């Protein structure tokens, strides 16, 4: 199968559509740097397009029928949306499944400390990262702090032009002879990924006066940890946050800065978190643009994929299955056997990223079977590592089914495999949904710099992905 750059295949109108989609995607990335933020944006867009909160309908006992659109969330990190089709659910759904968590640094529960005149926040990295990539770059702090009284404080520091930013320090090259002899995995240790947050003592301002009044307890050791105290004073003044509130906080450290067009030709997008938001966004747009459907269309935005899809908001939970049961109950179609039939009869695209072939690192790729940036959406029969370990291996019948859909809709697609057989590997949520017996395959967008603080994607791949996934959602062909 020939793989080639597809930019030259578009007319003027399509090129305009590509730019509109890319602009919306960059905005999505700028506003959604955490899974919570992505879900918030998604809910807003769903509601603007006629989707209703399924939990509210369950509480009222509202009946659902063909053409109704609903969504349901869990902990503001996992979302499932449905566009109910004309056919009974037991005949299967067409499902798009992405994840909206990304590699990052998480703030620990007891994080704030001062040492030798510098205040830090202690972190624990999340997902597969090259730790050395996270030092010396501008970092932002996103998340929520939940106080004992249930009040939620939203934190977003480092994205505005006049915001302060944070950073992980590194050792200067003049003193790094021993450091540079270490393996890349050891050059920066996990416990060294603490972010610098302050250097100014509490008691000093422009008039050499105390910034805030100390309590009696503070007075006993007033000369200790003055920089840490100054940070706490700022947090109290600006956010009404106490040190103990870190216990019930979810704060994520992410690269500061907005998504940018890349290249002289502006053909690419460079941004944080494109694994897997580069698939989530066109999947969402495909869902919103899909009107009347024969088979119920479903969109899943999952959490925790980067750490094994564990926990209540990961795909290993029963939330999706339970939500399908709730949906069918309001439709008057519920019984346990039909829920099982619905899941087993469904077809799914696990929409996740793949590694774009990079000629600089060609020794890690099998070029004939790698995904090329700018060559369209890919389908990947299997993932995993080595001998397809932890892989979902789609059957030939399902691949033939998808080829027919894509060809009939003029979709430019390619096949893909993640690197050479013994070079490494990776997986998606595909194998989890396949446990129900449904037809599942990986389909996604090739990106460069995967899992780095800044990842790169092609605008045309995003456009073709949206077209491909919309065609899949509209399909009324029965799954083979």
Q: Which of 198, 227, 255 is the last residue of a domain?
A: 255
Indicate the pLDDT class of residue 206, thresholds 50, 70 and 90. Answer: low
272/1: higher pLDDT: 272
Do 164 and 237 belong together in one domain?
yes
Do 291 and 343 belong together in one domain?
yes
Q: 260-262 and 268-271 as β-strands: parallel, antiparallel, unpaired? A: antiparallel
> Is 389 a member of any domain?
yes
- Percentage of the residues of the chain whose pLDDT score is greater than 90: 87
Do 277 and 377 belong together in one domain?
yes
- Provide the CATH number for the domain around residue 59: 3.40.630.10
Let me know: does 74 contact 222? Beta carbons within 8 Å.
Answer: no
Do 449 and 301 belong together in one domain?
yes
Do 328 and 437 belong together in one domain?
yes
Q: What is the pLDDT of residue 220?
A: 47
- Provide the CATH number for the domain around residue 137: 2.30.250.10
> Is 366 a member of any domain?
yes
Residue 100 has pLDDT above 80, yes or no: yes
Residue 208 has pLDDT above 60, yes or no: no
Residue 189's SS3 state is coil
Q: What is the pLDDT of residue 28?
A: 98
Indicate the pLDDT class of residue 205, thresholds 50, 70 and 90. Answer: low
Query: Could you please report the per-residue DSSP string of 335-382?
Result: -HHHHHHHHHH-EEEEE--EEBP-GGGGGG--GGGSBPTTS-EEEES-
Structural domains counted in the chain = 2
> Is 330 a member of any domain?
yes
> Is 391 a member of any domain?
yes
Do 294 and 395 belong together in one domain?
yes
- What radius of gyration do the chain's Cα atoms show? 24
**Cα–Cα distance measured from residue 192 to residue 101, given in angstroms and rounded to the nearest whole number:** 23
Sequence-ordered list of residues with C-beta below 8 angstroms from that of 398, at least 6 positions apart, any chain: 347, 439, 440, 441, 479, 480
Residue 319 has pLDDT above 80, yes or no: yes
Q: What are 112-130's pLDDT values in tens digits?
A: 999 999 999 999 999 999 9
Q: What is the pLDDT of residue 422?
A: 81
Sequence-ordered list of residues with C-beta below 8 angstroms from that of 250, at least 6 positions apart, any chain: 36, 106, 143, 144
Q: What is the pLDDT of residue 219?
A: 46
Q: What are 427-480's pLDDT values in tens digits?
A: 899 999 999 999 999 999 999 999 999 999 999 999 999 999 999 999 986 654
Do 301 and 407 belong together in one domain?
yes
Indicate the pLDDT class of residue 210, thresholds 50, 70 and 90. Answer: low
> Looking at 143-147, 276-280, 385-389, which range is the least confident one?
385-389
> Is 374 a member of any domain?
yes
Q: What are 13-64's pLDDT values in tens digits?
A: 999 999 999 999 999 999 999 999 999 999 999 999 999 999 999 999 999 9
Sequence-ordered list of residues with C-beta below 8 angstroms from that of 236, at least 6 positions apart, any chain: 212, 242
Indicate the pLDDT class of residue 217, thresholds 50, 70 and 90. Answer: very low
Indicate the pLDDT class of residue 216, thresholds 50, 70 and 90. Answer: very low
> Is 264 a member of any domain?
no
> Looking at 142-146, 342-346, 402-406, 425-429, which range is the least confident one?
425-429
CB-based burial label for 133 (10 Å; 0-12, 13-18, 19+): middle
- Assigned token pair, 19: 């730019």
Q: What are 383-437's pLDDT values in tens digits?
A: 878 888 878 889 999 999 999 999 999 999 999 988 888 887 888 999 999 999 9
Of all helices (H) and strands (E), which one includes residue 227?
helix 226-239
Q: Looking at 130-225, list the stretches that DSSP marks H as alpha helix, in order from N- to C-terminal side.
A: 184-187, 216-220
Do 333 and 369 belong together in one domain?
yes
Residue 326 has pLDDT above 90, yes or no: yes
Q: Which domain holds residue 460?
A: 7-102+272-474
Q: Which of 229, 255, 281 is the last residue of a domain?
A: 255
- Assigned token pair, 60: 């009222």
Residue 142 has pLDDT above 90, yes or no: yes
Q: What is the pLDDT of residue 420?
A: 84
Its pTM stands at 0.94
Q: What is the pLDDT of residue 209?
A: 59
Q: What are 234-273's pLDDT values in tens digits?
A: 999 999 999 999 999 999 999 999 999 999 999 999 999 9
Do 169 and 297 belong together in one domain?
no
- Assigned token pair, 155: 């934190």
Do 141 and 223 belong together in one domain?
yes
> Is 186 a member of any domain?
yes
* Chain mean pLDDT for the chain: 93
Tell me the backbone φ, ψ of residue 172, rounded to 5 degrees: -65, 145
Q: Which of 210, 229, 255 is the last residue of a domain?
A: 255
Query: Could you please report the per-residue DSSP string of 249-296?
Result: EEEEEEE-S--EEESTT--EEEETTHHHHHHHHHHHHHHHH--S-SSP
Do 132 and 78 belong together in one domain?
no
Do 65 and 131 belong together in one domain?
no
> Is 458 a member of any domain?
yes
């Amino acid at each position: 199968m020939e793989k080639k750059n597809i930019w030259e295949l578009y007319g003027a109108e399509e090129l305009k559509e590509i730019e509109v989609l890319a602009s919306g995607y960059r905005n999505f990335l700028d506003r959604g740097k955490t899974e919570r933020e992505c879900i918030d944006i998604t809910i807003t867009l769903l509601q603007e397009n006629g989707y209703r909160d399924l939990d509210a309908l369950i509480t009222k006992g509202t009946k659902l029928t063909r053409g109704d659109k609903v969504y349901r969330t869990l902990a503001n990190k996992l979302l499932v949306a449905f566009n109910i089709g004309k056919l009974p659910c037991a005949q299967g759904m067409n499902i798009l499944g992405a994840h909206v968590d990304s590699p990052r640094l998480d703030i620990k529960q007891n994080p704030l400390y001062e040492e030798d005149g510098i205040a830090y926040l202690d972190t624990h990295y999340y997902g597969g990262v090259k730790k050395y990539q996270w030092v010396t770059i501008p970092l932002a702090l996103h998340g929520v702090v939940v106080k004992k009284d249930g009040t939620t404080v939203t934190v977003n520091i480092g994205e505005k032009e006049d915001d302060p930013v944070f950073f992980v320090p590194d050792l200067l090259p003049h003193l790094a002879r021993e450091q540079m002899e270490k393996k890349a995995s050891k050059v920066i240790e996990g416990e060294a990924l603490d972010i610098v947050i302050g250097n100014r003592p509490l008691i000093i301002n422009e008039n050499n006066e105390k910034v805030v009044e100390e309590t009696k307890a503070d007075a006993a050791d007033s000369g200790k940890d003055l920089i840490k105290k100054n940070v706490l004073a700022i947090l109290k003044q600006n956010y009404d946050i106490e040190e103990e509130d870190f216990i019930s906080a979810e704060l994520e450290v992410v690269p500061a800065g907005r998504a940018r067009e890349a290249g002289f030709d502006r053909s690419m997008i460079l941004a944080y978190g494109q694994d897997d938001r580069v698939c989530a966004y066109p999947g969402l747009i495909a869902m919103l643009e899909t009107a009347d459907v024969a088979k119920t269309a479903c969109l899943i935005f999952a959490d925790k994929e980067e750490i094994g899809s564990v926990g209540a908001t990961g795909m290993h939970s029963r939330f999706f299955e339970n939500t399908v049961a709730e949906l069918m109950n309001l439709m008057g179609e519920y019984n346990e056997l039909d829920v099982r039939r619905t899941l087993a009869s469904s077809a799914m695209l696990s929409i996740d990223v793949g590694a774009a072939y990079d000629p600089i690192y060609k020794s890690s790729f099998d070029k004939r079977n790698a995904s090329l940036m700018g060559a369209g959406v890919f389908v990947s029969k299997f993932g995993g590592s080595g001998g397809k370990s932890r892989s979902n291996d789609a059957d030939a019948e399902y691949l033939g089914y998808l080829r027919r859909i894509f060809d009939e809709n003029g979709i430019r697609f390619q096949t893909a495999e993640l690197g050479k057989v013994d070079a490494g590997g990776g997986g998606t949520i595909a194998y989890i949904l396949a446990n129900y017996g449904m037809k599942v395959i990986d389909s996604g967008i090739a990106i460069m710099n995967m899992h780095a603080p800044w990842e790169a994607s092609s605008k045309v791949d995003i456009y073709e992905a949206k077209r491909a996934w919309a065609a899949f959602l509209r399909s009324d062909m029965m799954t083979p």
